[in-house]
Each structure stands twice: as structure tokens, then as C-alpha cells.
Amino acid sequence: MKSSEGARREAGEPSPPETPPGPTTTPRGGDEALFVTCPSCRGPSYRKDVERRLLVCGTCGHHFRLTVEERLRITVDRGTWQETWPGLVGGDPLHWTEAPDGPAYPERVAAARAQTGHREAVVTGTAEIESVPVALGVMDFHFMGGTMGTAVGEKLARLVDLARETRRPLVVFTASGGARMQEGTLSLVQMAKVVAALVRLREACVPYVCVLTDPTTGGVCASLAMRGDVQVAEPGALIGFAGPRVIEQTIQQTLPPGFQRAETLLLQGMVDMVVHRGDLRTSLGRLLRALSKAPDAAR
């Protein structure tokens, strides 16, 4: 496992969902920094302490955004993770350049790869969570804002198929600004592609648990992220279709506190539970055992 502090700090492309005061980003400070500043309460914390708390602020409970490695480390049973299709990548169907002076899309992807050590914005594979075998996808917000282009859509659709074929429950951690603008309409249709695979999964009676993490917005929210049989959200996660800034422009008003946050979505009936990161693995284990009719853990 490699450290990716640098990657974490450089998150947010191409359309990081705008966040109200106290942006939910990862601890500031370089790899060697002893202290990190919580973006929510602005309080300094001893880095080791925050890491010991699974990257949750000890003062205010703010959940920092995780790298894929951190997520896997705190979620899956040690030694059970096997990645699938790590080399699958997309192209540049629109020959995209951002403005006359902007970088070409392939350069942006290359930079994201260098930053994260992954080749695309989702990592897929098989693993066990509390001894239950699952098909697992983890979206990576640090890779171009976790946006879904052709490769992300393909990996997710294949993962859904894998879950169906092997009858493993599907677990996806979502973190995304939506469809990837740079691949245009081909990105948009990935929403339909993944949902079509999920329809088959549902018909095969294989369960799907979606864990919505900060942020889950746009086309990813309006496709796979809202189709879980069980919807779990991390505290404080921004979850919604339109970005807060777009909504504010539409209604010409400031949004109320807590708007599009996990706790609000719980009240609105859009998620089943908001689970503290420290309890997430246990909760997932309990859910997955029930859904796969596995015996209860004796432990």
C-alpha cells in the first residue's frame, strides 16, 4: 500500500461539487506534516490520531475523503482483495481540449494516473467483508473528480455482471462529480449501461449495497448510486443530482444548511442509514450476511 497524501490534496476535477463553508476535503499538510487541519472545524489534529480514527476528525467528526487504498484497508478482510481489470482505460473520442490554452484530455488523464497510481476513476475487484465474499467497486474522487467515462462505465458494468455470475453481493462505494464531460455523450450513456446491468442483477436476486460517500452527485448519483437495495451513506456526504452552485443560481437563494447532506437525505427517505466510518465495516457485514442468508457471525 502506498501513501497518496499528494493525490488527496489535489482532488476535484473537472467539476468538484461546490461545498458550503467547511469544504469536505482531506487533511491539509504534506506527507511529513505532523498536524493536519480539519476542513470542517478548522481545528488542528495530530495526523497519526486522525489516521487512527479512520480519517475522521476527533473534534467534529468530519469524515475526510479517502483514497482507494485507505478505503480498501478499512473495509475488506486482509488479504482478500483481488483487483479486476486494472488496466482497462478509455480513449479520447472527442479529441477534447479545454479552451485554446488548456491541456488536452489525455494529458489530464495522465496527470490523474500519476497522482493516484490508478488508471481510472473506479477500482473494481473481489474481496471479503467480514468473511462475506463480495464484488466490490470503489470510486476514486481524486481521479478527475471520480467522473464516469467509458472505462469507468465499462468496469462498473463488468463488476455488476461479475456479481451476478458469481452470485456475490455487489458493494459499490460511490464518490463522483458525475459523468465525465471530456468524453461527451459517450459518458452520459454509461449511466444507462450500468443501470441496465443492475436491472439484470436485481432480476437474478443478487443484492446490491451502495455506500454513498462524499461527494456523490450528477450522473453517477442519477444512475448506480440510487439503485441500491440498501443505501448507506457516510456522515456529511454531499449527495444530489444538481450541484449546489447550479441550484443556487436557479433559485437565486442561498441553500439551507444541511441541504443535500447524508443526514438530510435520511430524513427525506433517500438512504436507509448514515453510518459512522468506524461502524461501517460491522454494519456492512451484518447487512451482507442477512442479504446472503449467511449465518450470523459468532464473534
Q: Which is nearer to another protein, 135 or 151 (CB)?
A: 151
CB of 188 to another protein, least distance (A): 4
- Rg (C-alpha) for the chain, rounded Å, is 18
Q: How far apart are CA 18 and CA 254, in angstroms?
A: 13
Q: Which is nearer to another protein, 45 or 126 (CB)?
A: 126
Beta-ladder partners of 171: 136, 209
CB of 7 to another protein, least distance (A): 14
CB of 46 to another protein, least distance (A): 25
Residue 276 C-alpha cell reads as 459512522
CB of 251 to another protein, least distance (A): 6
Identify residue 79 by its one-letter amino acid code: G
C-alpha torsion 97→102→103→105, nearest 10: -30
CB of 128 to another protein, least distance (A): 13
> What are the Cα distances from residue 142, in Å, to 18, 29, 139?
15, 16, 9
Handedness of CA 115, 119, 123, 125 (dihedral sign): negative
Q: Which is nearer to another protein, 4 or 40 (CB)?
A: 4
CB of 78 to another protein, least distance (A): 10
CB of 299 to another protein, least distance (A): 24
User: Are the C-beta atoms of residues 216 and 147 closer than 8 Å to each other?
Assistant: no
Q: Which is nearer to another protein, 151 or 209 (CB)?
A: 151
Q: Which is nearer to another protein, 149 or 236 (CB)?
A: 149
Phi, psi of 53 (to 5 degrees): -85, 25
Q: How far apart are CA 163 and CA 197, in angstroms?
A: 10
Burial grade of 298 (CB within 10 A; 0-12, 13-18, 19 or more)? exposed
Q: Which is nearer to another protein, 57 or 112 (CB)?
A: 112
SS3 75: helix
Q: How far apart are CA 178 and CA 187, in angstroms?
A: 9
> Which DSSP category does 145 fall into?
G
Q: Which is nearer to another protein, 38 or 172 (CB)?
A: 172
